[in-house]
Amino acid sequence: MSTFDLFDGLDDRSPERIADGAWVLPGFALPRARELLRAIEQISQAAPFRHQTTPGGYRMSAAMTSCGGLGWVTDRSGYRYSETDPVTGLHWPALPDAFLRLAIEAAEAAGYPAFVPQGCLINRYETGARMSLHQDKDEERLEAPIVSVSLGAPMTFLFGGPNRTDPTARYRLEHGDVVVWGGASRLFFHGVAPLGKRAEHPLTGPVRYNLTFRRVR
């Protein structure tokens, strides 16, 4: 059976290769979307969303939290992964089984059969929130892909090249879409355009959640 047979009945759109080693998988998360949203609510009760601060002192417009063995944090001392939540001092909530299974299956569908994430960064975007172009390079295991899941309001994903000045393509991501990139495109710059004023989804209102799964060590 072809890898992309996994998409039958999930979405009318076809998987799209956006770079060498990078794919948009339309609707891949739809069968688990409600379960994922319930899990986000439970995680945020134990590790509340917060607007983190960059080393340069800028407040990030997307609110964040994490789950799994390692959570991504940023403050005046730098970007890093931590086993504990700096706000609560407790270990991050466990990675829900639905999160783990989705990440593994999406990576495999995109050609990365050995991926097992160590943690998940959860971003919450409200009207006007964005993520500037950046590379995911705080991980030691750069051979492992990134798996990014969109839930809720639609948003525009920006995907460029290995240099910040490379041309950037724009992709509209809908509820349930998954993007996977690795290999030759693992360190490509990427980001999201500001969430529009009219962006909305029946399950989340004017909010978009993003789950980013990574293998760190």
Q: Please compute the mean of the pLDDT values over residues 190-213 and round it to a whole number.
A: 97
Q: Please compute the mean of the pLDDT values over residues 8-27 and round it to a whole number.
A: 87
pLDDT digits (tens, 9 = 90+) for 106-142: 999 999 999 999 999 999 999 999 999 999 999 999 9
Q: Helix, strand or coil for residue 148?
A: strand
The DSSP secondary structure of 78-100, one letter per residue, reads: EEEEESB-TTT-SBPPPPPHHHH
How many domains does the structure of the chain reveal?
1
What pLDDT score does 7 carry? 44
User: What range defines the domain where residue 152 resides?
Assistant: 3-214
Question: From CA 73, how far away is CA 82, in angstroms rounded?
Answer: 7
Q: Helix, strand or coil for residue 5?
A: helix
Find the CATH number of the domain harbouring 128. 2.60.120.590
- Token pair 């460029």 is found at 160
Proportion of the chain above pLDDT 70, given as a percent:
95
More confident residue, 5 or 143: 143
Q: Is the pLDDT of residue 66 over 90?
A: yes
Q: Helix, strand or coil for residue 42?
A: helix
Backbone conformation region of residue 93, classed left if phi is above 0, alpha if psi is from -120 to 50, else beta: beta
The DSSP secondary structure of 14-40, one letter per residue, reads: PPEEEETTEEEETTTTGGGHHHHHHHH
Question: From CA 213, how far away is CA 120, in angstroms rounded?
Answer: 5
Distance of CA 39 to the CA centre of its chain: 15
Q: Which structure tokens are listed for 182? A: 């690795």
Lowest mean pLDDT segment, chosen from 3-7, 32-36, 133-137: 3-7
